Amino acid sequence: MTESILRKKTIVFAGGGTGGHLLPGIAVAEQLASLGEFQTIFVGSNRIVEQQIIENSGYQHLSLPSSSTSDLKRAPFRFLWHNGRAFLQAIRFLRTKIPSVVIGLGGFASVPVILAASWLKIPIVLLEQNIIPGRANQFLFSRASLVCISFSETEFKCKRSGVNHNQPRVVLTGNPVRQQIVNAGIQKGTAEKSTETSILILGGSQGATAVNDVVLSLLKQTGDDLPMPLHVIHQTGEAGYACVNVTYEWMRKQWPQLRVTVQPFFDDLTEWYTHTDLIISRAGATTLAEIACLGIPTVLIPFPNSIRDHQLINARFYAERGAAFLVEQAPDSNVTAQLLSKAVLDLLNGPEERSSMSQKVHELAYPQAAHRVAEELVELIRD
């Protein structure tokens, strides 16, 4: 079948709320552009972070008034009202666009759109980024034609109440990573080593107050032991930006060779990735996939309240393979800071350990994941 048959097909990506759900979809959309002429539309929530990410990527975006399951107990009528409206709006939208396929990216914002696609008999593909499937993808699993997973250990439950549901085809593709990140990993391997040590701190696209507090405690406690000159690049989230920035101003006076770049959210981390020696991060699956492609030694502080402990399970997978250090967040931030200090100092003062971790994390990478998913979508459309 020729490429012309694929021309002007509409592809809808459903989901979002955070960068972790959106960025794999953007990575696949980029690869689809090389395989044919598609109209790509993202449909998700009305969160500002989501809108900024899609807008900066140049794709169309439709916001729906969906609510997460956290609203189900505290505001059940609002939950039903918002998601009912989102479902009806999604049906009207899909009837207008008539997409060839709808791709669920996970998260609460994907549910009304995927249910609407199922109602309209539109083929459905799900992308699962984590080892433990998210609640949305688990709920939608039996409605899909194809499910792309990122870890061979991922398992879905496909029986409920003794009734056999549809068993979609499950393919191990890896978690899609944008081509610019893959290219940065290649560039990093050939880049000239700077005399300045760089640490990148990521709390996720929404930031993480606990990570901010622990990292600042770490720097205050170990500043004299850290290699200088030192460049700290810190993504704080909107809520923590002002306080963190003030603290760094004080630190710069204590350690003149300390250079700091602080932002609530970095639209593009590619440049920072290229020059980073060490990352301190939460354990979101998309961040881990990017780190693997880049081969950067990392200390992971999984979010302790993540659904089904999926971040902790992701982090353990990497740590057990020597691909990252795992520091579990303790109730006492001082305890966490002490554990983090040891891990960071061991890595920064141990070039052999950094090199070994870099190699091991690189072995977990799927640099062709986005292209593989895009090819699966094209084959589904052709069939």
pTM: 0.91
186 and 108, same structural domain?
no
pLDDT single digits (tens) 86-134 = 999 999 999 999 999 999 999 999 999 999 999 999 999 999 999 999 9
Total domains in the chain come to: 2
Distance, in Å, from the CA atom of 329 to the CA atom of 305, rounded to the nearest integer, reads 10
Same domain, 162 and 195: no
Same domain, 140 and 220: no
List pLDDT tens digits, range 202-243. 976 555 788 999 999 999 888 888 889 999 999 998 888 899
Same domain, yes or no: 95 and 141: yes
| Model pLDDT, residue 257 | 93
306 with 354, same domain? yes
**Does the annotation place 130 within a ligand binding site?**
yes
Q: Please indicate, yes or no, whether residues 149 and 191 belong to a single structural domain of this protein.
A: no
Q: Are residues 10 and 104 in the same domain?
A: yes
189 and 272 fall within a common domain = yes
For the stretch 153-160, contacts whose Cβ atoms lie closer than 8 Å and that sit 24 or more positions apart, written own/partner, are 153/317, 154/128, 154/130
Q: Which run of H or of E encompasses 87?
A: helix 76-97
Q: What are the pLDDT digits (tens) for 362-382?
A: 999 999 999 999 999 999 998
205 in a known ligand binding site: yes
Give the pLDDT band of residue 190 (cuts 50, 70, 90). low
274 is in an annotated binding site: no
Domain that holds residue 320: 180-362
- Residue 19 among known ligand-binding residues: yes
Question: What is the tens place of the pLDDT at every residue in 272-313?
Answer: 998 899 999 999 999 999 999 999 999 999 998 888 899 999
Indicate whether 133 and 114 sit together in one domain: yes
Burial class (CB in 10 A: 0-12, 13-18, 19+), 307: middle
Residue 164 has pLDDT above 50, yes or no: no
Domain match, 104 and 116 both:
yes
* C-alpha–C-alpha distance, residues 273 and 296, integer Å: 8
Q: Does 131 share its domain with 32?
A: yes
Judge whether 354 is annotated as a binding position.
Answer: no
Q: Is 180 annotated as a binding residue?
A: no
- Asked whether residue 167 falls in the same domain as residue 298, the answer is no
CATH code for the domain in which residue 93 is found: 3.40.50.2000
Q: Is 247 annotated as a binding residue?
A: no
